[in-house]
Structure 1
Amino acid sequence: MVATLSEAAVAVLTTAAPMEKVRLTREYAAAWRGGALAEIGGAVPPDRPARPERPELKLPRDMPKRGRGGTLQNRIALLHALAHIELNAIDLAWDIVCRFPGEAMPRGFTDDWIAVADDEARHFAMLEHRLNQMGASYGDLPAHDGLWQAAQKTAQDLTARLALVPMVLEARGLDVTPDTVRRLRAFGDDESAGILQTIHDEEIGHVAAGHRWFSHLCRRRGVDPVATWQDLVLRNFRGGLKRPFNVTSRAAAGFGPEFYESIAAPDPAAGPTSSEGSDGGSSS
């Protein structure tokens, strides 16, 4: 058994096998909640987490296009892409736990991100189990290697990490998942739809944690949260904020439109404002 929480984080980050990463995460999260792990410690996280030999990792531009139809292969490709996101999300949560010791964050910060890691581990396991039911498994298809770039870009700045990962990438998941759930139900795949609905609902809390601790840091530094977030996003996020936004779910996370509306790209559909997204996927 590891002696400190940072040692636990490093153990997860340096574990390549996905289901072992899930097992360790759930074990260490329970140990932290129960008091068996009580000290943060000073172990330093690796620059990149360990990854299994499969899936093959490609640049985002080299990834094959996913179909939006209801065929088995299209649904497998969707769930595989989401499982890859959730696996990265496990590592992102553990990384933030031990990456920024100089910030001296309150105990609640650590509690929140360990809870996020535990959620992400459960989400990955749910998706892997569903893939297995469909005759597939994580690693069968290629995946893109762009997800860790946000972590590397923000490795020196906790405010930037919070601005980009939960408040851009996970918030995007809130935008796009409801439409994916509707399409899966229309295809008759209620089981996959139910998994994605659970992920969406629980990740409202992840966005809320990002917003809460970003705002905490801004207050501590005496800067305006909205202006600071917009500056960090414009400087660090090359993809641009895509409409439409799931305003309802974002609001449930305490993340209001005053943050994102004024810097978002125009909606290419030029239709009425919608509270839910339209392409298929979640961000963690």
Structure 2
Amino acid sequence: MYYYKTLEDILTTKLPQEKFTKFELFYTNFLNNSLVYENKYTPISLVEPSYSGLVKIVLPKEVKIRKYFDTIEGKASLLHTICHIEYSAVDLALDAALRFQDLPKEYYEDWLEVASDEIRHFAMCEKILNGLGYKYGDIEVHTNLFEAMKKSDTLLKRMGIVPRYLEANGLDQNPKIMKKLQSNPDKINNTILEALKIILDEEITHVSKGDKWFKYACALENRDPNESYLDLLEEFYPGSTTKKTQMNFEARKQAGFSCEELKRLSNSNSCS
């Protein structure tokens, strides 16, 4: 089994279960050191996400947001959103392990482990979603994460924008959702809450991996990580560095953010 060719096939596979089954075999071979690594491999240029045709894709502003978790529709909407984030995160991790080559083996170990975690997260949430009579693909989605993946075409950009910005934002949003679920306690919401607790804990580790490899990429280019990160945010999301943002400081510090950096990003004078 070849490393890059097989990984590219998994990345472009649409159906979740088929994708995940292929990955399980691939990952087993990776952990057993039984893969063949091609000397030269040029990954395809992705023009559409792997889930294209599987779900209805709309503009972000057209995605219906149901904020109330005391109805079946609200619960299903939340779970479908999480499933889509996790499915997208699987592809992001796979692409990171495919797109950027000639790096230390630890890099590939990290991102394939992340892909394995994201698959498990998807499966947890999909099971609850199925119990409500819904399946992945029943609700419209947007392609924001895929677009970020396409645009971040260097290691420094990918690590800075995807895990260190987009996934780190999830560390801030997850507790807010958990609080809403706690204010609407029932059996299903409690089950969702337990899944979110697992996801939050493991996403801290994912952001930490992104932090490590972002700083590695900065060192390769002899760039200051703090200034490079701010430059990236302004390049990809103009104005984002001047917005006042409520952040999960504790989770972000665990993931590698410094207090000085968090104070600048949140426009806060304290780091607690």
- Structure 1-normalised TM-score? 0.86
- Kept in 2, the 8 Å contact 1:32–1:38? The answer is no
Partner of 1:212: 212
Partner of 2:51: 51
- Kept in 1, the 8 Å contact 2:15–2:51? The answer is yes
Structure 1 residue 181: deviation in Å?
A: 1.7
**What is the identity percentage for the equivalent residue pairs of Structure 1 and Structure 2?**
32
Structure 1 Cα separation of the partners of residues 203 and 38 of structure 2? 25
Instruction: Give runs of aligned pairs for residues 175-190 of structure 1, distance below 5 A.
Output: 175-187=172-184, 188=186, 189-190=189-190
Structure 2 Cα separation of the partners of residues 245 and 85 of structure 1? 20
Structure 1 Cα separation of the partners of residues 80 and 15 of structure 2? 16
Partner of 1:249: 251
Partner of 2:157: 160
Cα gap change, 1:274/1:194 in structure 2, threshold over 3 Å: closer, same or farther?
farther
- Kept in 1, the 8 Å contact 2:263–2:270? The answer is no
Partner of 2:109: 111
Instruction: Give runs of aligned pairs for residues 132-281 of structure 1, distance below 5 A.
Output: 132-155=130-153, 157-187=154-184, 188=186, 189-238=189-238, 240=240, 243-264=245-266
Letter in 1 for 2:261: F
- Kept in 1, the 8 Å contact 2:83–2:125? The answer is yes
Moved more, 31-40 or 108-117: 31-40
Structure 2 Cα separation of the partners of residues 6 and 249 of structure 1? 33
Higher relative contact order structure (alpha carbons within 8 Å, sequence separation ≥ 6): 1
Structure 2 Cα separation of the partners of residues 68 and 161 of structure 1? 34
Note the residue ranges of structure 1 that are not aligned, 5 or more in a row: 276-284
3-state DSSP of counterpart to 1:57: coil
- Kept in 2, the 8 Å contact 1:182–1:193? The answer is no
Deviation digits for residues 203-237 of structure 1 (CA, Å, limit 9, x no counterpart): 11110000001111212222211111111111112
3-state DSSP of counterpart to 2:136: coil
Deviation digits for residues 230-280 of structure 1 (CA, Å, limit 9, x no counterpart): 11111112472662100001111112243343244x69xxxx9897xxxxx
- Kept in 2, the 8 Å contact 1:54–1:139? The answer is yes
Structure 1 Cα separation of the partners of residues 245 and 259 of structure 2? 12
Letter in 2 for 1:146: N
3-state DSSP of counterpart to 2:144: coil
Letter in 2 for 1:259: E
Partner of 1:29: 27
Structure 2 Cα separation of the partners of residues 230 and 162 of structure 1? 13
Moved more, 40-49 or 10-19: 40-49
3-state DSSP of counterpart to 2:145: coil
Structure 2 Cα separation of the partners of residues 82 and 133 of structure 1? 15
- Kept in 2, the 8 Å contact 1:159–1:217? The answer is yes
Structure 2 Cα separation of the partners of residues 260 and 216 of structure 1? 20
Letter in 2 for 1:255: F
Structure 2 Cα separation of the partners of residues 232 and 72 of structure 1? 40
CA RMSD of aligned residues (A): 2.2
Letter in 1 for 2:164: M
- Kept in 1, the 8 Å contact 2:178–2:193? The answer is yes
